[in-house]
Amino acid sequence: MPTECPECSSELVRLDGEVALRCINPKCPAQIREGLIHFVSRTAMNIDSLGEKVISLLFKEELIQDVADIYKLTYDQLIALERMGDKSVNKLLQAIEASKTNSLEKLLFGLGIRHVGSKAAKTLAREFGTMEALSKASREELTAINEIGDKMADSIVAYFELEEVHALLNELDAAGVNLTFKGQRAVAIEDVDSIFAGKTVVLTGKLHQLTRNEAKEKLEALGANVAGSVSKKTDLVVAGEDAGSKLAKAESLGVMVWDEERLIEELNK
């Protein structure tokens, strides 16, 4: 097994409970480059035309060292690069500009906070609304949220304790990157007058009047927790066309099952 990082020669460590060996040098070029690639990816900030090859080139030419540098790139810097013509440069700059309007969860996921995946990023964004509010959250406030466990809470608190993180966020803010959640905010169950408040709901099968995401957002706005699998804790399953194993499991557990028409009827109330 290797003892040193092949990129920066730092000593590799094995974190508690993990099998993998990791380089934990925050200035490791490989980690910085991979972090940049993750930041611009489709599931994160979704900056079209800024793929792995372009990121590697920009990093090699020392035009970007962190994600904030992406928003400082200029036409003159890019046009001077190999294989970058006028059309591709303008397209790239437009994509970078467009990414500034992304909702908070995209940025949160893009920052690569350890243990925070895209789903958790959405949950955190809905709960806190702004990057500033999240950065001030305590471990207790975080673990009180459904889906946020101890490891993730510790990781989030540790991340926002770093001065470098706040400096980075200030740079992103100054560049005009949105730091707020644009979707439907989470609401306190006690403030919701709805039969869905506090209920765990599972959607399965094909819906015709709503997309799955639209149904999920409407249910969450009414205080429901929309889960991906059926269990004894499930209160309701909404079964669309061609519902399969989730419907069968719901029936075997005696969970209440609605069709889409019943869901629409209740949502309209």
State the DSSP H helix or E strand holding residue 67, giving kind and residue range, or none if neither: helix 67-70
Q: Is residue 68 part of a domain?
A: yes
Please report, for the domain that includes residue 255, its CATH number: 3.40.50.10190
Indicate whether 150 pLDDT > 80: yes
Helix, strand, coil percentages for the chain (3-state, nearest 5): 45, 10, 45
Indicate whether 26 pLDDT > 80: no
- Distances from the Cα of 145 to the Cαs of 108, 122, 125, 150, 162, in angstroms? 17, 12, 12, 11, 23
pLDDT one-digit tens code per residue, 208-251: 999 888 898 889 888 888 888 999 999 999 999 999 899 999 99
pLDDT one-digit tens code per residue, 80-138: 998 899 999 999 999 999 999 999 999 999 999 999 999 899 999 989 999 999 999 99
Q: Is residue 60 part of a domain?
A: yes
Q: Is residue 48 part of a domain?
A: no
pTM exceeds cut of 0.75: no
Q: Is residue 129 part of a domain?
A: yes
Indicate whether 149 pLDDT > 90: yes
Q: Is residue 3 part of a domain?
A: no
Give the domain range for residue 60. Answer: 12-36+53-86
**125: which 2 tokens?**
């964004």
Q: Label residues 157-189 b or e (16+ Cβ within 10 Å = b).
A: eebbeeeeeeeebebbeeeebbbebeeeebeee
* Average pLDDT, integer, range 135-155: 93
Q: Are residues 146 and 205 in the same domain?
A: no
**39: which 2 tokens?**
């930041």
